[in-house]
Structure 1
Amino acid sequence: MSFTVEERGNPNSLNYRLFFKNAEGKYISPFHDIPIYADESQNIFHVVVEVPRWTNAKMEIATKDLLNPIKQDVKKGKLRYVANVFPHKGYIWNYGAIPQTWEDPTHKDGDTDCCGDNDPIDVCEIGSKVCSRGEVIKVKVLGVLAMIDEGETDWKVIAINVEDPEANDLNNISDVKRLKPGYLEATVDWFRRYKVPDGKPENRFAFNDEFKDKDFAIEVIKSTHNFWKALISQKAKAGELKCKNTCVSAGDSPFCCSVDEAKAAVGETCPCGKEEPIPSSVDKWFYYEKK
């Protein structure tokens, strides 16, 4: 199963979009149409890479746009970039999401006592390769961190690309602690402090800031897959989410997006154009003492 991407608009601008196609050249939604599993029998999952390691642009699957292309998050009319909080530079993993998952904002999690954040579940892929934006990779899950982001449950799955040279040696969160000492601590530190330069308080975590293991993580992913199933079958309220898809829903479903409708949606966006410059402030280094 292979996927390609089509750029529209100007990179580093408000009109930039990254649309997805399947092997047949059919436009698809990375939120709904890419299967959650690459190999269900082995618990190998697909991950859509939104942000390559070391970059700062806060790119994400646009859950409220038709076909859910990747675009850059916007705050107060300006593109969002994460700050370089000492000692980090941009994102310290390939960051993305598992398709066909959804953290239900009406469901209060029994462990975190907070509701979901209304997005697909997030993934930090810790392999050695710097992935490309929009790349769809196959990962095995190692563990999960339960972040509480402004009162919402925001799970962060730790995973590794199955094609990574170290994939055979990393099978659970304990292996990460053993073979990559300091990486998990850096991950907690990154998520705790990355919003502070924007004037936000530090994030907090359930389970005393500890990572849960592989089995726990897989159960969390499966539960978010079930929430997505309820969403796509109209058993849960979609709100502003765009659930139209070209491969999952039956033709008589209001969520079914025809080939012509999909082509028209892409055609209405700007053609791919010249890349806009990234503001020099994005490379600024932000330092503050850890509490």
Structure 2
Amino acid sequence: MSFTVEERGNLNNPNYRIFFKNADGKYVSPFHDIPMHADEAQNIFHMVVEVPRWTNAKMEIATKDILNPIKQDMKKGKLRYVANVFPYKGYIWNYGAIPQTWEDPAHKDGDTGYYGDNDPIDVCEIGTKVCSRGEVIKVKVLGILAMIDEGETDWKVIAINVDDAEAKELNNIADVKRLKPGYLEATVDWFRRYKVPDGKPENNFAFNGEFKDKDFAIKTIKSTHKFWKALISQQADAGELNCKNTTVSAVDSPNYCSADEAQAVVAATSPSGKEEPIPLSVDQSFYYERK
């Protein structure tokens, strides 16, 4: 199963969008239409890459927009870029999400004690390749970190691209600790401190910041898939989320999006244009002493 992307608008501009198409050239939602599993029998999952490693633009699946394209997050009318908190440059892994998952904000997690963050479950892909924005890759899950972000459960799955040169050697979180010493500690440190330059406090974690293993991670992913199923079947309150899709819901469902409607949605956005410059402040480094 393969997917391609269609860029619209101008990179580093609020009008920028990445729309997805399946192998038949049909527009699809990366939230709803791309299957969670790439190979269910082997527990291989699809991952939608939102942010390539070493980049700063906070791109994300637009869960409230029809067809859920990737776009850059905004705050107070400005595009969001994560700061370079010393010694890191942008995101330190390929960052994205597993489709057909949802962290239900009405569900209080029994392990963390906090409600879900209303997004697909996040993934940090730790392989050697820098992926492309909008790339859909197949990943092997290794473990998971439970971040508490502003009072919400925000799981971070640790995974590796199955096509990566290191994939055969990495099969569980213990392998990451053994073969990439310091990598998991850097991951916790990054998530703890990345919002501090914006004037926010450090993030906290369940389980004292310890990573849970592969089996725990897969169980957590599958539970968020059940929440997504309830969402897409209108058994859960969608709130402001847009559940329109082109392949999952029946034609007579209010969530069904026809090919003509999807084409009109894309056509209504800005045509692809020249990339705009990144603000000079994005490349600055931010230092503060660890507590």
Show the 5 A alignment for 1:198-277. 198-277=198-277
Compute the displacement of 1:289 (Å): 0.3
Task: Indicate the residue corresponding to 1:86 in structure 2.
Answer: 86
Runs of 4 or more above 4 Å deviation: none
Question: Does residue 30 of the first structure (1) align with residue 30 of the second (2)?
Answer: yes
Task: Indicate the residue corresponding to 1:159 in structure 2.
Answer: 159
- Rounded Cα–Cα distance in structure 2 between residues aligned with 1:274 and 1:181: 41
- Rounded Cα–Cα distance in structure 2 between residues aligned with 1:73 and 1:158: 23
Show CA shifts across 1:170-208 (max 9, x none). Answer: 000000000000000000000000000000000000001
Aligned length in residues: 291
- Rounded Cα–Cα distance in structure 1 between residues aligned with 2:240 and 2:48: 22
Compute the displacement of 1:113 (Å): 0.4
Structure 2: stretches of 5+ with no match in the other structure: none
- Rounded Cα–Cα distance in structure 2 between residues aligned with 1:213 and 1:201: 28
Compute the displacement of 1:274 (Å): 1.2
Task: Indicate the residue corresponding to 1:287 in structure 2.
Answer: 287
Task: Indicate the residue corresponding to 2:147 in structure 1.
Answer: 147
Show CA shifts across 1:13-38 (max 9, x none). Answer: 00000000000100000000000000
Aligned-residue CA RMSD (Å): 0.3
- Rounded Cα–Cα distance in structure 2 between residues aligned with 1:80 and 1:74: 5
Task: Indicate the residue corresponding to 1:41 in structure 2.
Answer: 41
Letter in 1 for 2:260: D
- Rounded Cα–Cα distance in structure 2 between residues aligned with 1:250 and 1:155: 31
Task: Indicate the residue corresponding to 2:131 in structure 1.
Answer: 131
Task: Indicate the residue corresponding to 1:97 in structure 2.
Answer: 97
- Rounded Cα–Cα distance in structure 1 between residues aligned with 2:74 and 2:51: 15
Identical positions, percent: 84
- Rounded Cα–Cα distance in structure 2 between residues aligned with 1:100 and 1:211: 23
- Rounded Cα–Cα distance in structure 1 between residues aligned with 2:179 and 2:221: 25
Task: Indicate the residue corresponding to 1:189 in structure 2.
Answer: 189
Task: Indicate the residue corresponding to 2:107 in structure 1.
Answer: 107
Task: Indicate the residue corresponding to 2:175 in structure 1.
Answer: 175
- Rounded Cα–Cα distance in structure 2 between residues aligned with 1:256 and 1:80: 31
Show CA shifts across 1:199-251 (max 9, x none). Answer: 00000000011000000000000000000000000000000000000000000
* TM-score after normalising by structure 2: 1.00
Show CA shifts across 1:105-164 (max 9, x none). Answer: 000001110000000000000000000000000000000000000000000000000000
- Rounded Cα–Cα distance in structure 2 between residues aligned with 1:171 and 1:30: 26
- Rounded Cα–Cα distance in structure 2 between residues aligned with 1:25 and 1:208: 46
Compute the displacement of 1:287 (Å): 0.2
- Rounded Cα–Cα distance in structure 1 between residues aligned with 2:233 and 2:264: 25
